[in-house]
Structures are given as structure tokens and as C-alpha cells.
């Protein structure tokens, strides 16, 4: 088809909150516009929330400015209101219009739709969110008449009866679909699951177990190392290890994951901030990408909250229409961030000031700076004022925009301090390891410091690679100065730091192997490692190294073979420093080497000790090693504080769960029974307060924070999206709404009123609500908060009558592994 | 290799109670409450021996009053464990410490209260209170013995499986048996039906405490099916696996029941004791 004659002022792709707001603004402004939406309804992401979901309007301090009304309420209400407002604004929308191609530049874009239509526009606004498209099954015969139906989603497994169904895909989605289809034998479905590889590495353990059980029970046929080849009438032909096979097949459910929209966006010429998975398109303050005239807004631009999306839809059209006076909606918030600084200056000036002064901000674009500073604290410190105190829990990062700070290395006497100057950062150790502050820091002169909360700092490192590299450079230098104290100065290290490379290691991968030669040194940047040594032919667990630790420094000094094997306990990132560069340094300064060797003598003593005793190690050491390995495997390696149950003492009274529920809105955050056990140590389903909490990965309102006691907790701004549930590898978060208040303990004890201590049964909560005529509050994410702020500490431990329930940090769990009966 | 480069900060756990990790309730704080209880009981015995009341030791002497007040206070306090255990207020208390003190002071009480009585027994409300108290204490000792021994057995029996995993495995076994029996004859189908109809765990307290279910259909089916028949072999295998699983589930239920059953003696006796204690005090002060 020929490109349509008409040249639109603006084409808007995607009708989520961002695109819809943009279309409404364009319509109100009388611009020639068209909103292109791939589905047959508006705002597909929100359309697909579960029925009746309570949509939340956060952050509360952000003013809404757009042509659509939005306030917190049920999904249906929100969608209906938008449909009304959009119609009132007079937007032009085209459904079933999936954009597959964008080419051109400002003034002359051509958009290709899946059905072959072409649309021309002077400007394009991309607002397609981050859902992406399901990967398609690309084999001959798909869509041919008579061939099996191919579908990419499964809404209702109960809808199919007496069919031969082949599920393709070995992830959780595929397995869950297959189990759903086979759950009720009365449906009479013949379900087959195809897996290209031999194992199910991508899926959750629980799912794999359920699948294997279903296979053993003959309810699902599981074909591994098998791939679809082609579809024929009523059949699928598959490639197995031993050649082709024909399967009866009426329907194919393909769950091959979905491709993030990045590839599509990049094809239009848009540059991203980095290759990292967290990266976003590179944007100007007007949301313009590296392609002039092509704008990106909404979740795709890195703003997942509906309010942000709506505002950006409004703003982007204003910018395109040439309104240069529009102040960003976040201006008042940023003004408040800088309010404490005198003399008063416009926000843009302060941002320019920070970017000029601080090395990690230099590579950050002004738009990203605004986003970063929304959560930041910027203030002046008087000389001598304390910034943070040793052993405080805090994981924020401080940047020194003016003046200098003093780190107290030794409170003395004699007191030893180190000065960190303007433009640098401090507090990075807590950021990396998620642990307590290692030293007290004070302002050395009058200073201006920017405090970035941990999540904002991590986002900065993840999305602006040069800023990340700068943080790495600073932390590694400091670490090396600390290790090789002997009169080394930062300049000596420059050639070594040149060689720094970041390497990633899979869980269980050996980074250095005992007995091998190799003289590189490693610093653990993320994750953690275990150290083991072969004694009497068996690996013995020696030590656990959390993020921020280093290893391999002995080989650097004397070139001896590795004395132990170091493995990644979880997927880890390490900084590798080249041994040759160290050797050159030590050759040039032999006295440095001699002194360093002397200082490290103590560290070697332990290895020598173990060598000497190796014949005396017996089964006790085996048990110790196995227990330690078990705990690491169960996530204790990345924990900062986890609940363990000593099964030699646990009487199964569940008082721990009851205490948890009764001290937290009636919902228990721990499941004592679930979880694995080894050598009488039970790891229940309960939050480990990970060093790097996976749950924080993708929380739209940033509701998950690390608190003052090191606890990872979820605050009230949770919007109930369930992302954290999917990201936590330990299954400790659940979505639930608190039950109504129970009658007091005495009226239960004496009069038998109410359900008694602990989480009330769902049926009681329902009946009670009916009695009180109240609605259940919206479901939110619920997890352990380590009883932060409660005098006496975690209720689970306090409520255990026998001492079976204990909370441990990695430093102590190894002691536990070594315990004797 | 080395320790982490960052100065290792005291962990939260270390700030709490580092030794707590290895200690159960009996050993809590290196047997602090055992010492206190021994001291209390020891000094009571000593005072009793040194005291030379006329006409003979009983609750009416000065020392008798003192020991009696102490005993009554202890009994009330020991009973309050039932409340403490269920009131999850904030604050630096630990139920483990409470249970530790409860056990040791409860044992001391046996001595103190007996001294208070001056070994005078008879058929009256006073001796009833004493007997009930001894009943509570003995049942408590029984409970402690169970608490010491059964958790390990419970853990060993479960091995790495959880209760939920066992229940899921049983449901799986149900389905597999049903499927396996479908093509077979009426006799086999009836056997399987009986096996499926038997509850996994007995309903009566007796059968739970014994860990057995009378007339278990699975065991009966295994006995009834001939071993050599190749056609029945898969069914037999399923039934054999099921009986192993059932044994585990029943042992689990048995141990859990034992861990609770003693409280069914301890708590009602406590209630009776409190009533008798009240009667004892009232009668002493108003009708003496
Ligand atoms: C379960 C859940 C609950 C949530 N709850 C809340 C909440 O309570 N409050 C809140 O503020 N946020 C919430 N969020 C986040 C919020 O929904 C999203 O971040 C927001 O919808 C993003 O808006 P958007 O306009 O950028 O993109 P989307 O809303 O994702 O819209 C993109 C649209 O583009 C269409 N599209 C995609 N590709 C193409 C193409 N190639 N051609 C044409 N059209 C295309 C899609 O069909 C879709 O309609 C939640 C998210 C989830 C998953
Ligand atoms: C007169 C003396 C005693 C009284 C009045 C008393 C009373 C109680 C009460 C009311 C409970 C709470 C039970 C519940 O609510 O579940 C309890 C629990 C318990 N008692 Fe006693 N008791 C006494 C003596 C003892 C002694 C001597 C011992 C041990 C040697 C003992 C061991 C226990 C134990 C182990 C528990 C269980 C704790 C738990 O699981 O929460 N008691 N007692
Ligand atoms: S919720 Fe899960 S991912 Fe988050 S800190 Fe706890 S255990 Fe780690
Ligand atoms: S409170 Fe203690 S004894 Fe009771 S179930 Fe929990 S861990 Fe076991």
C-alpha cells in the first residue's frame, strides 16, 4: 500500500497512560494526530491487571497535569474514566495497529504497521511500555489451514477438553500452562511439553518438581532435547535426539518468552544509555531520543508510574508543539531538594553545578540528573559535622560537591583519618555490600554533599556505564590502598587500575582453582564467594567472602600457586586486576613488596595451620562443609539476616508464625513448615534481607527500601503490582490484604470469641467483614520487616518457647554449620 | 585469601545474644534459672532445717507463711505462661527465657510447697491443692522429656520433605493408583478403593498416639495381591511406595500428637490447681 498522503503532525504509538495522555493533549491542541494501538482496546497493560485491582496513584507529591483525570481506584473505574476523557478530547485512535517499523527523521517519519499500512508523520511519540511481544513460533505450517492452532497465551486452562495439546517452552510459564491443562483428568486433555534442552534450568524448582511428578503419574508427556520442526494437519513433527517424530496435536501453546521492545526501538536508530539490561533510551530533557523528532515516554523511558506517564504524555506534546517555557512537572519537587542551599539558584543551575563538580555525575544527562535528584538529599555541612557514624546501617552514597570530608580510620589515640576531597564519593562500601558503615565520616571543611539513596545510586550505576566505571575505580583504589597499606599512594595504582576488568561468574563457578598458577587478583563487586580447599580428596569449606572482599593477593606478591579454590556462591560480578601490572610495581619498589609480605604473614598462618592438620580432619569436617554448602545454596550466602530453625529443638508449635502475624496486621510473613532442612537446620520461607535484594529490581513506586536496622521492607506506597514476588528467588513475598481486627486475647481465652492468636483463617476474615459490612483493603506485597522499630527485636525469635528459632547473619551461620551436638 | 577488607561490623545477631544460638530453653543463659531455682530451693531447705517451730512445722509458722506466699506467687506466675505465650507485645522479653524460668522454678516449687506444708497430708482441700500441684509438675517434667527427645525424631522422620510435600506426594499416589487400577479387574479396583478410602492419619487420639490406623487399606491390598504376577507388579510397586509414605506420615502425626498431648494434662490440671489453691487460701484465712 502507498504511504497515505496526509502528513500527520504527530503519530503516537501505544495507548497506555503515556500515549493516551499525549493523544489527548494533541487533540486539545488541534494537532493532526493518530494514536496507534496494537490491541482492540486502550491501555493494554492496565486492561490486563486482574479484575477489580486497586490502581494506585503514586507518588503523592507529584502534581498531575494532563487532560485525563486520574485518581486511585478500581481498574474498571480508571479505564472507563480515561475512555470518556479521551472521547471528550476528540482523540483519533486506530486499533489493531501494531507498529513494526519506524524510519525517517524529524519532519518525515514513516511508520509501518503489521498489516502493511504506512503512516507518515512529522513527529513520533513512542509509548509502548515495557511488556514487549511474545516470541513467535517460527516453523513451517504455522497458520496453514488444518494445521494445529498456535497461541501464545493461555487465559483459562479449563476451556479445553479432549484435545491433544503441545506446550512449547521450558520456563515457568510453559510448565504452569502444561500443569494447568492436565490438572483435571476429567478434561481428558493429552498434554505434551517440549523442551529443547535436557534440563529445566530456567524454571522454579517447585514447578519442575510438580512437572516431574505429573510426568511420573502419566498426566503429562515431557519430551526433553526435543524441538518443534513443522506443523501438519492434526500433527506436530518434532526433532528428537534420535530423529524425527510425529505427535498428535490439535493446539500448540508456545511460551517462548517475550522480547523486550528494545530491539524494535533500536532498529529505529535510537541509542540506549548502555548495553545493560536496565538501560533506557538516551533522552534529552524534552524526551527526544538520538533520532531528532522521535520521542520516548512512559515506562519505556524508565518511568513506570502511571502519574509520571500521564504527565509526560502532556509535556511531550507541548514540547513538540514548540512550548519552550514549560517547566518540568518535577520542578517544585526539585526546588524543595535544593531549598536548603544558599544562595538560592534555579534548579538547572544547581544541576549544572553538580555535574561540573562531581566525577560520577559528569556522564549523567541533565534529564537523568533530575530523575536521580528527586530522591536525593542535598545539604550543607558545617566543618566537623558528622555525616554518618561507624556501624550505622545505611546504604546511601554521598557525593562531595564542595569541600572535603574526613574518614576516621582509627579513633585513636593517636587518631588517624583520611581526607576525601571535592568531586569524589564516600559511603560506597555500604552501597556495594549492603552492610553497616565501616567508619565515621565528618565534614573536614564546610561542605555541600549530595546523598543518594541506595536504589537511586544503583540505578545510576546500572544505567550510566561511565558513572558505574567511575564508582568502581574509586572503590577499587581505596580497597587496594587498604590492602597494601605500606606507603602506597593512589598514583602508584593508576597503571594497575588501567587493567581492571569486570568479570561475571555463575553460581558455583570456580574463579580461581587450587593448585593452578595465575597471578590475577579479584575484588567481589556484587554477589559473594566461598573458599574451599581439598583435604584428603574432599573439598572442605573454609570461608565465605561477601561483596567487597578480595582474594588472590598472595599470588600477586610471591607467585605461588593458588592455595584454595574460590567459587561464586551466587551469580557474582568481580573486578579482575592484572597480576603483571602488580609485578611491575613491586619490581620498581622492592621495599614495598617486603613490607607488604610481612604485613600479610598473619593471613597465611591459617592456611599453614590447615595444611598441617589435614590428616586429622574427619567426618566432622565433612558435615561442616556439607552444612555450609547447604546454607549457601539456600540463599544464606547473600543474606544479611535470616531466620533458621534448629530442628533439634523445634516442637512445631508455630508460635513463631503466630507472633509474626499478631505483630504485623494479622498476616504472617513466615512459613515455618515450608523450606529445606539439612542436618537439623531448617531454612523456613522467610526473608533473608539479601545484601542485594532481588525484590527491589523492578518496583515501580520504589517502595522496597533498606531501613535503618538493615531490614529490607516494603512501605505503604506499594501499588500491588506483584513484581517483587516474581523477583524474589526465595518465594518469601506474598500478596494479601490484612484481615479485620480480632477480639482481644482474654475474650478469646475466657469467652472463646474470635479465632485466637495467629493469622485468622480466610473464612473468619470473610465472615467478619460481612458482619462489619467492610470491603477487603487492596492487596499489597507483604514480607518480613525484621520487626523494625519494635522494642525487643524480631517477634518470631522472642515467641519461640524452646530457642529453636534463631536469626543469623553470614558471619554467624558458618559458626552454626560448625556446631557440634 | 582473606577476610573481607571492610572492617567487619558487629552483626545484628551478635548484638542480640551470640550464645543464644547454641542454647535450648533448659540451658538458657548458661542455666541461669537452674542456679536461681537451686538457690531458692536450697535456702528453703536450709531455713526449714534451722527453724524450730512449735508444736511442729506447718503453714502457720512465720517460715510457713513465707514459703506459702512464695509458693502461691510462683503458682500464679507459672500459670501466667499461658498468657505470655500468646500475647505478642513489643519489648525485650523472650518466651524461651520464660519457659526456662518456668521449668526450673516449677521444679523448685515442688520442694518449696512441700516444705510449706510441713509434710502434713490428709484428706482435705489443702492436700488436694498439693496433689494437683505435684500432678502439674510431673506432667511438666514429662513434657520437658518429650521436648528433649521428639523434635529430633520428627526431623529425622521427615528427612528433607516437609509436611506439605508429604501431603502432595500422597495426593499424587492417589491419582497414580486410580489410573493404575482402571484397566484392572473388579477385585483389584475394590482393593485400591479401600486403600484410598483409609484416612492417612487415624481420627482418634489413641490411633494417633500409636501412629497406626486400624484396618489400613493399603496394607490389606499389599497382602491380598500375589507377588509373582507381572501384570499386577506396577500396582504392587505403587502400593508399596504408598505404604512407606503412609508410615512416614503416621510417624510424623504420632510424634506431633505426643508433643501436644501432655499439655492436655498440664493445662487442665493447672486450672484445677488454681481453683484448689483459691479454696485452700480462702479456707485457711476464713475458717481456720
Ligand atoms: C500488575 C501491575 C500492576 C501495576 N499497578 C500500578 C499502580 O497501581 N499504579 C501505578 O502507577 N502503576 C502501576 N503499574 C505500572 C504501570 O501499569 C505501567 O508502568 C504503565 O502502564 C506504563 O505505561 P505506558 O503508557 O508507558 O505503557 P503501557 O501501559 O504498557 O502501554 C503500552 C501500550 O502500547 C501498546 N503497544 C505495545 N507495542 C506496540 C506496537 N508495536 N504498536 C502499537 N501499540 C503497541 C500496548 O498494547 C499497550 O496498550 C502496574 C504494573 C503491573 C504490571
Ligand atoms: C505448678 C506448677 C506449674 C504450673 C501452674 C504450670 C502451668 C503451665 C501453663 C499454664 C503452661 C502454658 C500451657 C499453654 O498455654 O500451652 C505451661 C506450659 C509448660 N510448662 Fe508448666 N506449669 C507448672 C510446672 C511446670 C514444671 C515443673 C515444668 C517442667 C519441669 C513445666 C514445663 C512446662 C513446659 C515445657 C511448658 C510448655 C511451654 C510451651 O510449649 O509453650 N511446667 N505450664
Ligand atoms: S524478599 Fe526475597 S529478594 Fe527481597 S530481600 Fe527478602 S529474600 Fe531477598
Ligand atoms: S516457635 Fe520455635 S518451637 Fe514453635 S514452631 Fe516456631 S521454631 Fe518451632
- pLDDT tens digits along A382-399: 999 999 988 777 778 999
Residues A265 and A251 in one domain: no
Rounded Cα gap, residues A358 and A353, in angstroms: 9
Rounded (10°) CA dihedral B13, B15, B18, B24? -70
CA A86 to centroid of ligand 1, rounded, Å: 17
pLDDT in tens, A519-531: 888 988 777 888 8
Residues A397 and A440 in one domain: yes
Q: Return the C-alpha cell found at A466.
A: 561511565
Question: Is the Cβ atom of A651 under 6 angstroms away from ligand 4?
Answer: yes
Q: Is A488 left (phi over 0), alpha (psi -120 to 50) or beta?
A: beta
pLDDT in tens, B205-231: 999 999 999 889 999 999 998 888 888
Question: Is the Cβ atom of A439 under 6 angstroms away from ligand 4?
Answer: no
Phi and psi at A230, nearest 5°, equal -160, 165
What residue owns the CA closest to ligand 3's atom 6? A687
Q: Could you say which of A219, A482, A649 has the minimum Cβ distance to residue B5?
A: A482
Residues A349 and A382 in one domain: yes
- Looking at all shown ligands, the one closest to residue A671's CA atom is 4
Does the beta-carbon distance from A218 to B14 stay under 8 Å? no
Residues A450 and A596 in one domain: no
Rounded Cα gap, residues A238 and A469, in angstroms: 47
Q: Return the C-alpha cell found at A309.
A: 506517564
Under 8 Å between Cβ of A60 and A147? no
- Looking at all shown ligands, the one closest to residue A303's CA atom is 1
**Quick check: helix, strand or coil at residue A599?**
helix
**Residue A547 sits in which domain range?**
490-607
Q: How far is CA B149 from CA A266, A482, A654, B155, B162, in A?
A: 65, 51, 18, 11, 20
Under 8 Å between Cβ of A124 and A102? yes
Residues A501 and A580 in one domain: yes
Residues A291 and A230 in one domain: no
Q: Return the C-alpha cell found at A394.
A: 545505611
Under 8 Å between Cβ of B269 and B143? no
Residues A638 and A733 in one domain: yes
Q: Is A123 left (phi over 0), alpha (psi -120 to 50) or beta?
A: beta
Work out the burial of residue A228: count CB atoms within 10 Å of its CB; fewer than 13 is exposed, 13-18 middle, 19 or more buried: buried
Q: Which residue has the cell 503532525?
A: A9
Residues A648 and A782 in one domain: yes
Please tell me which residue, B113 or A604, carries the higher pLDDT value.
B113
Residues A456 and A344 in one domain: yes
- Please indicate, yes or no, if residue A588 is contained in any of the structural domains: yes
Under 8 Å between Cβ of A628 and A802? no
Does the beta-carbon distance from B96 to A801 stay under 8 Å? yes
Rounded Cα gap, residues A365 and A346, in angstroms: 17
Q: For chain B, what are the domain ranges?
A: 28-120, 138-288
- Please indicate, yes or no, if residue A504 is contained in any of the structural domains: yes
* pLDDT band, very low/low/confident/very high, at B16 (cuts 50, 70, 90): very low
End-to-end CA gap in chain A: 80
pLDDT in tens, B254-266: 999 999 999 999 9
How many residues are present in chain B? 288
pLDDT (0 to 100) of residue B11: 32
How many residues are present in chain A? 821
Question: Is the Cβ atom of A719 under 6 angstroms away from ligand 1?
Answer: yes
pLDDT (0 to 100) of residue A613: 52
Residues A335 and A312 in one domain: no
Query: Which among A455, A674, A783, A807 is the best mutation to test ligand 3's pocket, defined by most ligand atoms within 8 Å of the CB?
Result: A783
Query: Which among A800, A806, A807, A808 is the best mutation to test ligand 4's pocket, defined by most ligand atoms within 8 Å of the CB?
Result: A800
Q: Could you say which of B13, B155, B172 has the minimum Cβ distance to residue A647?
A: B155
CA B264 to centroid of ligand 2, rounded, Å: 11
Does the beta-carbon distance from A757 to B88 stay under 8 Å? yes
Rounded Cα gap, residues B80 and B106, in angstroms: 12
pLDDT (0 to 100) of residue A321: 94
Please tell me which residue, B12 or B166, carries the higher pLDDT value.
B166
Q: Which of A140-149, A323-332, B10-19 has the lowest mean pLDDT?
A: B10-19
- Give the DSSP per-residue string, A650-700: -----HHHHHHHHTTTT----EEEEEEEETTEEEEE-----SS-GGGGG-T
CA A799 to centroid of ligand 4, rounded, Å: 8
User: Mean of the pLDDT values across residues A209-225?
Assistant: 84
Rounded Cα gap, residues B34 and A550, in angstroms: 47
Q: Does A51 score more than 60 pLDDT?
A: yes
As a whole number, the mean pLDDT across chain B is 87
Query: CATH number of the domain that A230 lies in?
Result: 3.50.50.60
pLDDT (0 to 100) of residue A820: 42
Question: Is the Cβ atom of A712 under 6 angstroms away from ligand 3?
Answer: yes
pLDDT in tens, A150-169: 988 776 778 888 899 999 98
Under 8 Å between Cβ of B256 and A652? yes
Question: Is the Cβ atom of A14 under 6 angstroms away from ligand 1?
Answer: yes
What ipTM was reported for this prediction? Answer: 0.91
Nearest to A710 by CA among A440, A454, A436, A438: A436
Nearest residue on chain B to A429, judged by CA atoms? B6
Under 8 Å between Cβ of B130 and B278? no
Under 8 Å between Cβ of A164 and A249? yes
- Please indicate, yes or no, if residue A675 is contained in any of the structural domains: yes
Choose from B3, B6, B17, B274 for mutation: most chain A CBs within 10 A: B6
User: Mean of the pLDDT values across residues B164-183?
Assistant: 84
Query: CATH number of the domain that A675 lies in?
Result: 3.30.70.20
* pLDDT band, very low/low/confident/very high, at B2 (cuts 50, 70, 90): very low
pLDDT (0 to 100) of residue A701: 82
Rounded Cα gap, residues A441 and B186, in angstroms: 82
- Please indicate, yes or no, if residue A756 is contained in any of the structural domains: no
Residues A19 and A79 in one domain: yes
* pLDDT band, very low/low/confident/very high, at A118 (cuts 50, 70, 90): very high
Q: Return the C-alpha cell found at A321.
A: 508543539
Final residue in a domain of this structure, among A320, A349, A368: A320
Amino acid at each position: 500500500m502507498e504511504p497515505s498522503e496526509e502528513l500527520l503532525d504527530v503519530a503516537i504509538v501505544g495507548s497506555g497512560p503515556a500515549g493516551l495522555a499525549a493523544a489527548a493533549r494533541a487533540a486539545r491542541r488541534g494537532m493532526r494526530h493518530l494514536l496507534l494501538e496494537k490491541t482492540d482496546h486502550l491501555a493494554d497493560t492496565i486492561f490486563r491487571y486482574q479484575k477489580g485491582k486497586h490502581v494506585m496513584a503514586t507518588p503523592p507529591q507529584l502534581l498531575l497535569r494532563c487532560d485525563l483525570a486520574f485518581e486511585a481506584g478500581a481498574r474498571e473505574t480508571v479505564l472507563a474514566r480515561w475512555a470518556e476523557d479521551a472521547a471528550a478530547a476528540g482523540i483519533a485512535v486506530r486499533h489493531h495497529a501494531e507498529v513494526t517499523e519506524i524510519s525517517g527523521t524529524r519532519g518525515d517519519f514513516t511508520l509501518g504497521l503489521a498489516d502493511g499500512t504506512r503512516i507518515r508523520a512529522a513527529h513520533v511519540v513512542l509509548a509502548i511500555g515495557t511488556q514487549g511481544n511474545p516470541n513467535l513460533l517460527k516453523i513451517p505450517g504455522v497458520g496453514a489451514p488444518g494445521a494445529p492452532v498456535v497461541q501464545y497465551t493461555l487465559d483459562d486452562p479449563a476451556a479445553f477438553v479432549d484435545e491433544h495439546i503441545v506446550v512449547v517452552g521450558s520456563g515457568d510459564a510453559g510448565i504452569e500452562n502444561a500443569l494447568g491443562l492436565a490438572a483435571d483428568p476429567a478434561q481428558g486433555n493429552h498434554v505434551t511439553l517440549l523442551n529443547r534442552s535436557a534440563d529445566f534450568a530456567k524454571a522454579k524448582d517447585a514447578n519442575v518438581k510438580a512437572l516431574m511428578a505429573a510426568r511420573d503419574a502419566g498426566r503429562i508427556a515431557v519430551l526433553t532435547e526435543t524441538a518443534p520442526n513443522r506443523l501438519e494437519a492434526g500433527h506436530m513433527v518434532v526433532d528428537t535426539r534420535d530423529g524425527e517424530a510425529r505427535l498428535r496435536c490439535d493446539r500448540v501453546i508456545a511460551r517462548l518468552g517475550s522480547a523486550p521492545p528494545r530491539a524494535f526501538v533500536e532498529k529505529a536508530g535510537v541509542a540506549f544509555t548502555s548495553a545493560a539490561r536496565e538501560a533506557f533510551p538516551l533522552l534529552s530533557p524534552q524526551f527526544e531520543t538520538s533520532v531528532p523528532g522521535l520521542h520516548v515516554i512512559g515506562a519505556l523511558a524508565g518511568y513506570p508510574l502511571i502519574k509520571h506517564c500521564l504527565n509526560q504524555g502532556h509535556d511531550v506534546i507541548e514540547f513538540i508543539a514548540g512550548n519552550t517555557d514549560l517547566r518540568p512537572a518535577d520542578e517544585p519537587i526539585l526546588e524543595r531538594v535544593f531549598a536548603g542551599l544558599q544562595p538560592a539558584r534555579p534548579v538547572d543551575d544547581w544541576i549544572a553545578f553538580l555535574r561540573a563538580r562531581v566525577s560520577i555525575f559528569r556522564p549523567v544527562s541533565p534529564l537523568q540528573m533530575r530523575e536521580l535528584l528527586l530522591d536525593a538529599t542535598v545539604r550543607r555541612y558545617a566543618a566537623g559535622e558528622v555525616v554518618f557514624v561507624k556501624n550505622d546501617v545505611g546504604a546511601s552514597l554521598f557525593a562531595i560537591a564542595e569541600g572535603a570530608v574526613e574518614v576516621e580510620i582509627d579513633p585513636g589515640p593517636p587518631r588517624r583519618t583520611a581526607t576525601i576531597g571535592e568531586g569524589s564519593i564516600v559511603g560506597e562500601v555500604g552501597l556495594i555490600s549492603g552492610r553497616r558503615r565501616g567508619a565515621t565520616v565528618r565534614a573536614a571543611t564546610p561542605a555541600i554533599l549530595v546523598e543518594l539513596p541506595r536504589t537511586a545510586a544503583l540505578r545510576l550505576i546500572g544505567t550510566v556505564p561511565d558513572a558505574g566505571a567511575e564508582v568502581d575505580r574509586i572503590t577499587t583504589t581505596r580497597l587496594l590502598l587498604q590492602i597494601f597499606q605500606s606507603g602506597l599512594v593512589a598514583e602508584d595504582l593508576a597503571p594497575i587500575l588501567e587493567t581492571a576488568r569486570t568479570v561475571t561468574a555463575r553460581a558455583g563457578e570456580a574463579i580461581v582453582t587450587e593448585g593452578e598458577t595465575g597471578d590475577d587478583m579479584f575484588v567481589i563487586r556484587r554477589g559473594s564467594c566461598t573458599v574451599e580447599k581439598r583435604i584428603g580428596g574432599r573439598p572442605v569449606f573454609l570461608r565465605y567472602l561477601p561483596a567487597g572482599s578480595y582474594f588472590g593477593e598472595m599470588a600477586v606478591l610471591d607467585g605461588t600457586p593458588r592455595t584454595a579454590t574460590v567459587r561464586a556462591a551466587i551469580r557474582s560480578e568481580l573486578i579482575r586486576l592484572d597480576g603483571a601490572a602488580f609485578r611491575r610495581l613491586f619490581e620498581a619498589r622492592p621495599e614495598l613488596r617486603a613490607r607488604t609480605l610481612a604485613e600479610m604473614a598473619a593471613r597465611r598462618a591459617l592456611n599453614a595451620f590447615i595444611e598441617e592438620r589435614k590428616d586429622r580432619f574427619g567426618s566432622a569436617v565433612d558435615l561442616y562443609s556439607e552444612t555450609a554448602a547447604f546454607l549457601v545454596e539456600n540463599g544464606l550466602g547473600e543474606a544479611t539476616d535470616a531466620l533458621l530453625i534448629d530442628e533439634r529443638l523445634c516442637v512445631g508449635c508455630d508460635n513463631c508464625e503466630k507472633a509474626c502475624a499478631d505483630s504485623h496486621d494479622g498476616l504472617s510473613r513466615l512459613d515455618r513448615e515450608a523450606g529445606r532442612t539439612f542436618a537439623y537446620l531448617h531454612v523456613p520461607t522467610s526473608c533473608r534481607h539479601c545484601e542485594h535484594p532481588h525484590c527491589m529490581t523492578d518496583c515501580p513506586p520504589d517502595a522496597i527500601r533498606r531501613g535503618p536496622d538493615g531490614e529490607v521492607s516494603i512501605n505503604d506506597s506499594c501499588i500491588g503490582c506483584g513484581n517483587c514476588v516474581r523477583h524474589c528467588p526465595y518465594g518469601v513475598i506474598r500478596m494479601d490484604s490484612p484481615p479485620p481486627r480480632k477480639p482481644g486475647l482474654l475474650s478469646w481465652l475466657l469467652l472463646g470469641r474470635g479465632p485466637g492468636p495467629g493469622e485468622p483463617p480466610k473464612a473468619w476474615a470473610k465472615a467478619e467483614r460481612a458482619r462489619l459490612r467492610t470491603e477487603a483493603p487492596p492487596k499489597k506485597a507483604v514480607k518480613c520487616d525484621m520487626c523494625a522499630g519494635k522494642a525487643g527485636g524480631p517477634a518470631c525469635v522472642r515467641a519461640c518457647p524452646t530457642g529453636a528459632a534463631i536469626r543469623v547473619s553470614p558471619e554467624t551461620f558458618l559458626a552454626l554449620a560448625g556446631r557440634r551436638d | 585469601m582473606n577476610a573481607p577488607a571492610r572492617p567487619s561490623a558487629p552483626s545484628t545477631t551478635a548484638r542480640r545474644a551470640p550464645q543464644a544460638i547454641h542454647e535450648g530453653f533448659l540451658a538458657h543463659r548458661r542455666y541461669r534459672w537452674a542456679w536461681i531455682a537451686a538457690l531458692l530451693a536450697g535456702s528453703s531447705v536450709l531455713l526449714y532445717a534451722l527453724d524450730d517451730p512449735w508444736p511442729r512445722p506447718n503453714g502457720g509458722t512465720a517460715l510457713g507463711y513465707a514459703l506459702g506466699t512464695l509458693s502461691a506467687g510462683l503458682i500464679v506466675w507459672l500459670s501466667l505462661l499461658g498468657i505470655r505465650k500468646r500475647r505478642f507485645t513489643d519489648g525485650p522479653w523472650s518466651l524461651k527465657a520464660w519457659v526456662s524460668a518456668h521449668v526450673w522454678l516449677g521444679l523448685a516449687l515442688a520442694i518449696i510447697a512441700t516444705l510449706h506444708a510441713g509434710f502434713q497430708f490428709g484428706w482435705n482441700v489443702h492436700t488436694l491443692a498439693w496433689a494437683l500441684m505435684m500432678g502439674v509438675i510431673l506432667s511438666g517434667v514429662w513434657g520437658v522429656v518429650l521436648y528433649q527427645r521428639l523434635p529430633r525424631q520428627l526431623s529425622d522422620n521427615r528427612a528433607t520433605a516437609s509436611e506439605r510435600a508429604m501431603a502432595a506426594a500422597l495426593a499424587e499416589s492417589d491419582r497414580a493408583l486410580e489410573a493404575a487400577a482402571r484397566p484392572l479387574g473388579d477385585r483389584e479396583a475394590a482393593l485400591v478403593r479401600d486403600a484410598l478410602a483409609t484416612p492417612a492419619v487415624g481420627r482418634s487420639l489413641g490411633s494417633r498416639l500409636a501412629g497406626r490406623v486400624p484396618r489400613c487399606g493399603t496394607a490389606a491390598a499389599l497382602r491380598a495381591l500375589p507377588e509373582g504376577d507381572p501384570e499386577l507388579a506396577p500396582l504392587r510397586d505403587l502400593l508399596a511406595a504408598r505404604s512407606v509414605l503412609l508410615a512416614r506420615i503416621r510417624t510424623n502425626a504420632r510424634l506431633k500428637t505426643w508433643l501436644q498431648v501432655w499439655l492436655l494434662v498440664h493445662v487442665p490440671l493447672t486450672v484445677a490447681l488454681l481453683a484448689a489453691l483459691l479454696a485452700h487460701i480462702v479456707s485457711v484465712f476464713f475458717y481456720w
